[in-house]
Amino acid sequence: MTEVDLAVVGGTVVTGRGAERGDVLIRGEQIAAVAAPGERHDAARVIDATGKLVLPGGVDVHTHFLVGFMSCRSVYDFFSGGVAALRGGTTTVVDFALQRRGRSLTDGLKHRRMQADARVAVDYGLHIVVTDVNEATLAEIPAVMREGVTSFKTYMTYEKDGLMLDDGALLALLRVAGREGALVGVHAENEKIIAYETARCLAKGEVAPRFHALTRPPIAEAEAVRRAISLAEAAGAGIYIFHLALGREVPNIRAARRRGLPVFAETCPHYLTLDDSRYERADGTLYVMSPPLRTAEDQKLLWAGLEDGTLAAVGSDDASFSAEAKTASSGSFATTVNGVYGAEFRLPLIYTFGVETGRLTLPQLVRIWSEGPAQLFGLAPRKGTIAPGSDADLVVIDPERRTRLTAQSHYGPVGYNIYPDVDLSGMPVCTVRRGAVAVEEGRYLGTAGDGRFIKRGKPDLASGIGVGAAP
């Protein structure tokens, strides 16, 4: 008889390869085995998952905890954001360390780890946001990779916020990343188009939320995505498009993949479930994010990209600015802080709108929820799957249970709800982080600092899923 510390029994265990009844047996922090139903084992603690789905804990490679942006501060720090993520079934996040201009990558990394390590509730890794490319920065890349930071983030916009990299700098970064095997991610929007359109609207006093979308037209996103792919190809590097909103660009990404290029992209729950009609509402300012919400047709193309594996992941882009912060600028889109919350509700949104509608199978869900991003960002096989030897990170959901979100549903005082009219399935019953029950029925059972920094390996640029990945 197998002796284990924890057994999650009677559920349907879902991985990227299939879904079948089984018992997940956990010893210490790792999965010891996945046993056939009815096999005998001696467990110190048993979780009965009969009638439920047992998924790998989520891997969210796009969170912005403890962040300041456009004069606002996020509600969530590494503790509260981590708890919110765990309540939503995510057990690993990859957040960002910022290189300040004139400072080193290492300074940015040290500073961020100092902010996070003692408080973080969820296991976490970091991308470094590169804002200052020079010989010293480029020379540091192998050293930060040895520290487990194997991906970098760049902004093709947000010039006045001090974040934008110009094309020369991006190309130089891509060349070194290509040589070292790191992955460069981009926020792909054309700064000059946005700046021109914004100035034009402001001159006419056009400040309502719908002008946020109009000043960031599809071409601003499409051009930047294509430029990023061209620069990466020229440099011989992999590229990851963060938060793709423009479904119309999915065919280009698919085509690049089919040419054998390591071109990857994620989208986010809000782009999959909300469209640009939200900007016409009285509370349209709550939906100000960049890129902006697009059309219903774009949503269809994004879902198709997830279904055939062209899109590698659904990241939350959690930017938890409160309702007060988002409405502080009296409705002017130009000064409304960009970004929406998301880490806590990533799973129910993809489950409800993806699996329940028949767009995605359960294994497809797991690929974009945990396995795909873990593999791509150097976290596999430790994270993202249910297999012997992997960390025992699990989420149990009851497919029969429905939850209606309100402004009060969040773990923290975010104070607004952008999904008002839907009943969601797939809110976790419990979340297991490295073998310990971290959240049960929404209650966090751990303490601050229970999360761990995860040193990531090199990105698996050959990783790819489904048709979209086939070179």
Which of ligand URP, Zn ion, none is residue 154 near (CB under 5 to 8 Å by kind)? none
**Shortest distance, position 343 Cβ to ligand URP, whole Å:** 12
Q: Which does 293 bind (CB under 5 to 8 A by kind): ligand URP, Zn ion, none?
A: none
- Least Å distance, CB 243 to ligand URP, is 6
In the complex with Zn ion, the residue whose CB is nearer, 78 or 155, is 155
Is 110 within 8 Å of 441 (Cβ atoms)? no
CB of 74 to ligand URP, least distance (A): 9
Choose, by CB under 6 A, the member of 9, 54, 121, 289 that binds ligand URP: 289
* Binding partner of residue 64 among ligand URP, Zn ion, none, CB cut-off 5 to 8 Å per kind: ligand URP
Q: Determine if the peptide bond prior to 348 is cis (ω within 30°).
A: no
Q: How far is the CB of 31 from Zn ion (least distance, A)?
A: 34
DSSP secondary structure letters along 260-285: T--EEEEE-HHHHH--GGGGGSTTGG
Q: Which is nearer to ligand URP, 326 or 456 (CB)?
A: 326
Cβ 100 vs Cβ 130: under 8 Å: no
Residues 6+ apart with CB under 8 A from 214: 197, 201
Using the rule CB under 6 A, which residue among 156, 319, 325, 427 binds ligand URP? 319
Place of tokens 């990227």: 16
Q: Which does 92 bind (CB under 5 to 8 A by kind): Zn ion, ligand URP, none?
A: none
Question: Among 27, 52, 64, 434, which residue interacts with ligand URP (rule: CB under 6 A)?
Answer: 64
**Residue 27 contacts which entry, Zn ion, ligand URP, none (Cβ below 5-8 A, type-dependent):** none
Which residue, 298 or 317, is less far from ligand URP as judged by CB? Answer: 317
Nearer to ligand URP (CB atom), residue 55 or residue 337: 337
Asked if 290 is part of the footprint of ligand URP (rule: CB under 6 A), the reply reads: yes
**Closest CB 316 distance from ligand URP, rounded Å:** 10
Q: Residue 21 or residue 73: which is nearer to Zn ion going by CB?
A: 73
Which of 309, 339, 354, 468 contacts ligand URP by CB under 6 A? 339
**To the nearest whole angstrom, how small is the minimum distance from the Cβ of residue 12 to Zn ion?**
35
Distance CA 209, CA 143 (A): 43
Look up residue 424 and give its two tokens: 């969601």
Decide if residue 338 touches ligand URP (CB under 6 A): yes
Residues in the chain: 471
Instruction: Give me the least distance between CB of 191 and ligand URP, in Å please.
Output: 13
CA of residue 371 relative to chain centroid, distance: 13
> Closer to ligand URP at the Cβ: 333 or 444?
333
Closest CA relative to residue 407, chosen from 350, 323, 298: 323
d(CA 224, CA 230): 10
Q: Which amino acid is at 21?
A: R
Is the Cβ–Cβ distance between 317 and 264 less than 8 Å? no
12 binds ligand URP (CB under 6 A): no
CA angle 142, 145, 151 (to 5 degrees): 115
State the binding partner of 339 from ligand URP, Zn ion, none, CB within 5 to 8 A by kind. ligand URP
Within 175-194, which residues bind ligand URP (CB under 6 A)? Answer: 187
Phi, psi dihedrals of residue 91, rounded to the nearest 5°: -110, -15
Among 310, 320, 377, 364, which residue's Cα sits nearest to residue 61? 377
Strand, coil or helix: what is 469? Answer: helix
Compute the least distance from the CB of residue 170 to ligand URP, in Å: 16
Residue 432 contacts residue 8 (beta carbons within 8 Å): yes
The 8 Å CB, 24+ separation contacts for 252-258 are: 252/222, 252/225, 252/226, 253/225, 253/229, 253/305, 253/310, 253/311, 253/468, 254/305, 254/308, 254/310, 254/468, 256/229, 257/310, 257/464, 257/468, 257/469, 257/470, 257/471, 258/468, 258/470, 258/471
β-strand partners of 11: 22
70 or 208, CB closer to ligand URP?
A: 70
Judged by CB under 6 A, the number of residues near ligand URP is: 9
Tokens 């929404």 -> residue? 442
Nearer to Zn ion, 86 or 164 (CB): 164
Count of CB atoms situated within 10 Å of the CB of 408: 9
Site for Zn ion in 166-195 (CB under 5 A): 187
CB of 242 to Zn ion, least distance (A): 5
Q: Which parts of 215-274 interact with ligand URP (CB under 6 A)?
A: 243
Of the pair 34, 69, the CB lying nearest ligand URP is at 69
Instruction: Number of residues interacting with Zn ion: please give it, by CB under 5 A.
Output: 1
Letters for 147-166 (x = contact with Zn ion by CB under 5 A, - = none) are --------------------
Q: Which residues contact 452 (CB under 8 A, 6 or more apart)?
A: 120, 123, 124, 434
Q: Candidates 23, 317, 344, 450: give the one binding ligand URP (CB under 6 A).
A: 317
Task: Please say which residue, 112 or 187, places its beta carbon nearer to Zn ion.
Answer: 187
Q: Which residues bind Zn ion (CB under 5 A)?
A: 187
Q: Which residues bind ligand URP (CB under 6 A)?
A: 64, 187, 243, 289-290, 317, 319, 338-339
